[in-house]
Amino acid sequence: MMQRLLRGRGKWPVIGLMILFALASVFGILSVKINFDLSAYLPDDSKTQDSMTVIREEFGLNAAIQVMVEDVTLVDAQTIKAVIQDVEQVASVVWLDDLIDVSKPLSTYDATLVAEYYHDQAALYTVTFSTDDFASETEEGITAIRNALSDHQEVAMRGEAIANLHTRDLIFDEILQVILVIVPICLIILILASNSWVEPLPVLLSLGLAIVFNMGTNAMLSSVSFITFSMAAVLQLAISLDYSLFVVHRYYEEREQGYGVVESVARAVKHSLGSITASAFTTVMGFLSLLLMRYSIGADIGIVMAKGVVFSYLSTLIILPILLVLFAPLLEKTRHKNLLPTFEKSVKVLHHGRHFALILVLGLAVGGFLLQNQLSYYYGNNAESNNNGDQHAMNEQFGEWNPLVILVPKGEVSTEVDLLETLTQHEAITSVQGLYSVLPPETPLSLVPTPVLDQFHSDHYSRIMVKTNLIDENQAMYDFAVELETILADHYDEYYLVGTITSVNDIKETVQADSLWVMLASIGAIGLILILLFRSILIPILLVGVIQTAIWVNFAIPFLQGSSLAFIGYLVVSALQLGATIDYAVLLANRYREFRKSEPPVVAMRLAFHTSSRSILVSAFILTAAGLILGLLSSVGAVKEIGNLLGRGAALSGFLVLFFLAPLLVLFDRFIIKQPKSLSSEGGETL
Average pLDDT over residues 555-571: 84
Q: What is the pLDDT of residue 675?
A: 52
**Quick check: is 40 in a domain?**
no
More confident residue, 441 or 681: 441
In sequence order, the 6+-apart residues with CB closer than 8 A to the CB of 337 are none
Domain count, the chain: 4
Cite the beta strand spans of 20-84 per DSSP E: 34-35, 64-69
Q: Kindly report, residue by residue over 358-378, the tens digit of the pLDDT.
A: 788 889 999 999 998 888 887
Under 8 Å between Cβ of 168 and 223: no
Residue from 631, 634, 526 nearest 582 by CA: 526
Predicted pLDDT of residue 533 = 81
- The β-bridge relationship of strands 118-119 and 122-129 is antiparallel
Residues 530 and 540 in one domain: yes
Name beta bridge partners: 497: 406
Residue 687 has pLDDT above 60, yes or no: no
Q: Which of 281, 312, 338 is the last residue of a domain?
A: 338
Residues 356 and 275 in one domain: no
Residue 674: the pLDDT is 66
Predicted local confidence at residue 64, as pLDDT: 85
The partner residues of 429 in beta bridges, in order of sequence, read 468
Among 636, 572, 33, which Cα is nearest to 301's? 572
Over 50: is that where the pLDDT of 679 sits? no
Q: What is the pLDDT of residue 648?
A: 93
- CB atoms near residue 82 (< 10 Å): 9
Residues of the chain with pLDDT > 70: what percent? 93
Model confidence band, residue 206 (pLDDT cutoffs 50, 70, 90): very high
How far apart (Å, rounded) are the C-alpha atoms in residues 184 and 449? 64
pLDDT-based confidence at 205, cuts 50/70/90? Answer: very high
- Spatial distance between the Cα atoms of 338 and 614, rounded to a whole number of angstroms: 10
Helix, coil or strand: residue 405? strand
Query: Is residue 359 located within the same domain as residue 416?
Result: no
Within a domain: 139: yes
Mean pLDDT computed over 650-659: 90
**Is residue 184 assigned to a domain?**
no
Q: Which residue, 311, 338, 365, sits at the end of a domain?
A: 338
| Residue 182 maps to a domain | no
- The per-residue pLDDT for range 28-70, each reduced to its tens digit, is 998 898 888 877 888 877 888 888 888 888 887 788 889 999 9
Contact 505, 474 (CB under 8 A): no
Segment 551-574 mean pLDDT? 85
Cα torsion for 250, 255, 256, 258, to the nearest 10°?
A: 140
User: Residue 577 is part of a domain; what is its CATH number?
Assistant: 1.20.1640.10
Q: What is the pLDDT of residues 533-558, one digit of tens each?
A: 888 888 889 999 999 999 999 999 99
Please indicate, yes or no, whether residues 491 and 524 belong to a single structural domain of this protein: no
**344 and 325 within one domain:** no
Best CA proximity match to 404, nearest among 508, 295, 496, 487: 496
Residue 412: give its domain's CATH number. 3.30.70
In whole angstroms, give the CA distance from residue 240 to residue 211. 10
For 98-138, what is each residue's pLDDT tens digit?
878 888 888 888 887 888 899 889 999 989 898 888 888 89
In this prediction, residue 353 carries a pLDDT of 64
- Of 234, 235, 229, 227, nearest to 216 by C-alpha is 229
In terms of domains, do 5 and 144 share one? no
Predicted confidence band of residue 84 (pLDDT cuts 50, 70, 90): very high
Does 661 share its domain with 543? yes
Q: Quick one: 549 and 490 in the same domain?
A: no
Shared domain for 245 and 135, answered yes or no, is no
pLDDT confidence band for 527 (50 / 70 / 90) = confident
Of 434, 393, 403, nearest to 416 by C-alpha is 434
The three-class DSSP label of residue 14 is helix
Task: Count Cβ neighbours within 10 Å for each residue of 321-343 and write b for 16 or more, e otherwise.
Answer: bbbbbebbeebeeeeeeeeeeeb
Distance CA 123, CA 156 (A): 11
Q: What is the 3-state secondary structure (H, E, C) of 333-355?
A: HCECCCCCCCCCCHHHHHHHCHH
Q: What percent of the chain has pLDDT over 90?
A: 23
Query: Looking at the structure, do residues 525 and 656 belong to the same domain, yes or no?
Result: yes
- Average pLDDT (10-24) is 85
Among 40-44, 48-52, 268-272, 490-494, name the one with the lowest average pLDDT. Answer: 40-44
More confident residue, 39 or 202: 202
pLDDT of amino acid 386: 40
pLDDT value at residue 79: 93
225 in any annotated domain: yes
At residue 344, the pLDDT reads 60
Residue 678 has pLDDT above 50, yes or no: no
pTM: 0.78
- Is residue 393 assigned to a domain? no
pLDDT of residue 408: 93
Residue 185 lies in a domain: no
pLDDT at 449: 78
User: Is the per-residue pLDDT at 348 higher than 80?
Assistant: no
83 inside domain: yes
Same domain, residue pair 10 and 49: no
Range with the poorest average pLDDT among 88-92, 390-394, 623-627:
390-394
* Integer Cα distance of 150 and 135 in angstroms: 23
Which run of H or of E encompasses 259?
none
Average pLDDT, stretch 633-641? 79
What pLDDT is attached to residue 468? Answer: 86
What is the per-residue pLDDT for 349?
A: 63
Element holding 461 (H helix, E strand): strand 461-468
For residue 32, give the DSSP letter: P
Range of weakest confidence among 158-167, 180-189, 385-394: 385-394
Q: Look at residue 385 in the predicted model and tell me its pLDDT.
A: 43
Q: Spell out the residues 6+ positions from residue 221 whose beta carbon is closer than 8 angstroms to its own.
A: 32, 303, 304
Residue 210 has pLDDT above 90, yes or no: yes
Task: Give DSSP secondary structure letters for 516-576.
Answer: HHHHHHHHHHHHHHHHHHHT-SHHHHHHHHHHHHHHHHHHHHHHHHT--EEHHHHHHHHHH
> What is the per-residue pLDDT for 415?
93
- Domain end, chosen from 338, 369, 390, is at 338
Residue 129 is part of which domain span?
45-164
Domain co-membership, 377 together with 515: yes
Chain length of the chain: 687
Mean pLDDT over each residue of the chain, to the nearest integer: 84
Residues in CB range of 388: below 8 A, 6 or more apart: none
